Amino acid sequence: MVKLNRLGRSGLFVSQISLGTMNFGSSGPGACTTGEASRIVGRFLEAGGNLIDTADIYTAGESEKILGQVLKGRRDSVLLATKGGLGAGTDPNARGLSRRHLTRALEASLRRLGTDHVDLYQCHVWDAHTPVDETMATLESFVRAGKVRYLGCSNFTAAQIVQAQWAADRARSTPFVALQAQYSLVARSVEAEILPVCRDLGLGTLAWSPLGGGLLAGRYRRGTAPDADSRVSRTKESSRAAAAWAKAVLDPVNLDIAEALRTIAGELGVDSATVALSWLLTNSSVTSVVIGPRHVDQLTGNLRASEFELPPAVIARLNDISAATTVKPVTGRGLLTTGR
C-alpha cells in the first residue's frame, strides 16, 4: 500500500505517490482514453493513493473533463489538485495570476471537474506582471468561498516562494502549503535553494517528472531510436521549446546516468523506475512524487517504489552518478508550449 506523508505545514495527509493526469485525453499513439483513465484511477485508489493532480491546460482542458467523469461516485475518496495561470492565445488577460484570470480559470476548472471545490489549487507559474499581493488575496477569496481547501504553487523559484509567503503573512491570509517542482536524478537543481526554503517556510514538495520524461524508466537508450509512442517522439516536432526539451532529455550526461541506473536496478532485481522513484522518496523534503502513467501497467510498476527501500550504499552511488545533472527546471514559456 502507498504510504502517506503530511503536506507541508498543514493537517493534510497525501500519498507519497501522486497520480498526474497530463496524459488523460492525449491523442496519437498510446493515447489515454476515458476507459483507460478510469482503470488507472481505480487501481491508484485501490493501492492507497489519494492525491490526483491535473491542470486547466492539460490536453486543452480534456484532462480535467475526463478526470471529472471518472471520479463520479468516488470524489470523496480523492484529494483533487489542479493548477491555473497558464493560457493560450495572445490576450494578456487570458493568462497569468491576476484576479480576473484566476477567477475565470478556477470556475472553468470546477465545471470541467464536476465538483464544487478542489482540495489543492496551485499557481502554475510565477507571473511577473501581477502584484503578488493581488494573487494571494485572490487565492484567499477562493478559500473563504469554500471553492479551494489548500493553496500551492508550481515552478516558483526560492525568491518567488518567499515573496508569496510574505504577502500572505502581511495580509494574515492563507499561505502556500505545497510546491510542485521538477526533481529527479537528472534534475537536481532544486536542492540548492528551493528545497531548503520549502522546509523553512512550511511547504511540502511534490516532484514532477520524477522519471526524467521517461529516461529513468528505461524508455530511451543511447544508439536506439525512441519508440513512436514515447513522449520524446510525440513532442519533439510540435514546437521549438518541445524540441529543446526532447534534446535535453537525451543529453549525453543524462544517458550516462540512465545507464548507471539500469546497472544498479539489475543488481537489485527491480526496474529502473522503482529505483529512481525510491531515491526521491529517501529525501525527507519530498512529500510525494507525481507520476504520469498512460497505461495501468505503467502505474502498477511505479507503485512498487512506495514499499521498496534502497540500501544506504546504493543511495550514495546514485547521489554520486547524478551529481553532474544538466536538465534544469523549465521556464514559464517552456511550460506554456509543452503543457507541463
Q: Which residues are catalytic?
A: 58
> Which of helix, strand or coil describes residue 116?
coil
166-175 in b/e form (b: 16+ CB < 10 A) is ebbeeeebbb
Looking at residue 330, its amino acid is V
107-136 in b/e form (b: 16+ CB < 10 A) is eebbebbebebbbbbbbbbbbeebebbbbb
CB 338 within 8 A of CB 332: no
- Distance (Å, whole) CA 107 – CA 116: 9
CB 17 within 8 A of CB 303: yes
Reading phi first (left if > 0) and then psi (alpha if -120 to 50, else beta), residue 208 is in beta
279-293 in b/e form (b: 16+ CB < 10 A) is bbbeeebbbbbbbbb
Cβ-proximal residues to 108 (8 Å cutoff; 6+ apart), any chain? 56, 61
Hunting for cell 492539460 — which residue is that? 58
Strands 176-182 and 17-20: unpaired
- Distance (Å, whole) CA 106 – CA 80: 13
- Distance (Å, whole) CA 193 – CA 242: 27
- Distance (Å, whole) CA 207 – CA 154: 10
Hunting for cell 526539451 — which residue is that? 245
CB 84 within 8 A of CB 56: yes
